[in-house]
A and B are shown apart, each in its own frame.
Chain A
Amino acid sequence: MRDVDQGAVPQVAATIRINGRPEQLLLDARVTLLDALRDRLGLTGTKKGCDQGACGACTVLIDGKRMLSCLTLAAKCDGREVVTIEGLASDGLRHPVQDAFIRHDAFQCGYCTPGQIMSAVGLLAEGRAGSDDDIREFMSGNICRCGAYSNIVGAIREVAGRGGA
């Protein structure tokens, strides 16, 4: 850790509950939640794609709602609850959406996958998986350059209880 310039750069203290664990951070106010997760906390499951709010790879749940961690200042998350892809499994068991993505081969290179899965978890909680068209519309914030879309829709459809075909 270099501590040059520490006096010149304003620091912000933030306590963020991440995957159920309170994390106390002292941050340069410029640090985004995405960079705090990856570089400070070693939670590299959340991916940096475009880093400008266009691709959805950095999607996490903040207070239960899906948001983009690349456009969220970490300092804004003080007192809030963040769930990342690393926090989805419970008792060593994968989340149903994670299982469905594996079963449906809903990825190719895998880079967008954590964001796709977090977004899908959000979408299911919002009750927006009623039709394939709805899934496509309300997953449109997550871009997949490999084009695994049809299998992503299939995986979400299955978890929504509308069949696994």
Chain B
Amino acid sequence: MRPFEYIQATEPAQAVATVTADPATDYVAGGTTQVDLMLKDGILSPSRLVDVTKLPLQWITADAAVIRVGATTTMEELAADPTVVRRLPFVRESLLRSASVQLRNMATIGGNLLQRTRCRYYRDPAVDACNKRKPGSGCAAVTGPARMHAILGASPHCIALHASDLAVALVTLDTVVHILGPGGVRSVPLTEFYLEPDGTPDIENVMAHGELITDIEIPLLPEGARQTYLKVRDRTSYEFALASAAVAVVVEDKMLRDVRIGLGGVGTIPWRAYDAEHVLREAPASNETFRAAAEAAVRDPFTVPGTAFKVELAKRTLVRALQTVTGVTQ
């Protein structure tokens, strides 16, 4: 691993200027992605790291309509926030089902959204074929053993999974990401923040080098909205999702009014299932409509032998989440 310089930034604009000016300079926040990929896997090798955890971005505020979260707030801090506990319990669930307490005490909200894929081919420098790491080199995961990989937004170019649980809940809420760049602040809806790999798996989101997430803005659900985050995995705790569903609904007389659905463990990006929402909006809550929604949600999967099981698993995960949240099981 090559040596690097370490700087603690104290002022956001100065941090942005420093990183923007040098392609070999990166940010580090909690370190659970950056340090892992630099020191352990040898995938990233910046010559300078700018630590953002001393910036004044560790805060949470809320009013009647939105909760705003500074980017260096930790996952444990957000999970414990009273507004999240009361108004967005499925966001809390998505956080508490992520990683371990130790990692959640380190990992930040901005870093969670920007976390890199856990694809083992991406993280293994001995693997040549990785379009995400080395554009144009191919994809070893498509032909090799795969399991913890994506089936939605995937293609022969890349099936790397976006493993965030939090982002799956946040993407259903029309969360807005505030980004500081050299020219000032811009705001991007989380639904437009991530880019499907297509022919350029190395470009994962709309952020330019040097841009910094300063905070995110999460609109609250109406009082009384029912919500759940269901995560299916190989072990009960401390494991990535094979499939997950973030569901929030407003139900009146067994009719679904507002419906928001996100899928995790299956997408190259945190997956907003608009087609499934469309099927359910103004529809009766029943197993029949739930199943129709699940079919719509996973309509055009790209699978390899190791991930084919996820098509049915994702559908059943969504159906069960809808049953849980509506109380309707027939």
Contacts and interface: CB of A to CB of B under 8 A. Distances in A.
B5 A72 contact: no
Given A72-B31, A73-B35, A67 B105 contact: yes
Contacts of B100: 56, 140-142
Interface in B99-152: 99-103, 105-106
Interface string A1-24: 000000011101000000000000
* Dominant SS among interface residues on chain A: mixed
B61 interface: no
A86 B28 CA distance: 29
B254 interface: no
Contact of A138 (B3, B6, B101, B236): B101
Interface string B231-248: 000001110000000000
Contacts of A78: 8
Contacts of A145: none
A52 B53 CA distance: 21
B39 A141 contact: no
Interface in A26-62: 28-30, 32, 51-53, 56, 59, 62
Interface residues of A, number: 34
Contacts of B49: 29, 73
Interface string B57-86: 000000000000000000010000000000
A51 B1 CA distance: 15
Given A8-B3, A29-B5, A141-B99, A72 B106 contact: yes
Nearest to B123: A52
B1 A140 contact: no
B36 interface: yes
A136 to B, nearest CB: 7
A32 B3 contact: no
A12 B310 CA distance: 47
Contacts of B39: 30, 32
A141 B31 CA distance: 17
B32 interface: yes
B51 A30 contact: no
Contacts of A126: 101
B237 A136 contact: yes
A135 to B, nearest CB: 11
B40 interface: yes
B5 A10 contact: yes
Main secondary structure of the interface of B (DSSP, over half): mixed
Interface in B29-44: 31-32, 35-36, 39-41
Contacts of B76: 65
A68 interface: yes
Contacts of A32: 35, 39
B326 to A, nearest CB: 26
Contacts of A52: 36, 40-41
A51 B36 CA distance: 9
A71 B236 CA distance: 24
B323 to A, nearest CB: 23
Contact of B106 (A56, A71, A136): A71
B3 A66 contact: no
Interface string B296-309: 00000000000000
A56 B53 contact: no
Nearest to A143: B238
B102 A30 contact: no
Contacts of B103: 53, 68, 71, 141
Contacts of A72: 31, 35, 106
A119 interface: yes
Contacts of B4: 10, 29-30
A29 B238 contact: no
A28 B102 contact: no
B40 A76 contact: no
25 contacts: A8-B3, A10-B6, A12-B6, A28-B3, A29-B3, A29-B49, A32-B39, A53-B40, A53-B103, A56-B100, A56-B102, A65-B105, A66-B105, A67-B102, A68-B32, A68-B102, A68-B106, A72-B35, A75-B51, A119-B101, A123-B101, A137-B236, A138-B101, A141-B100, A141-B238
Given A29-B3, A53-B103, A119-B101, 5 more contacts: A10-B3, A32-B35, A71-B106, A72-B31, A137-B237
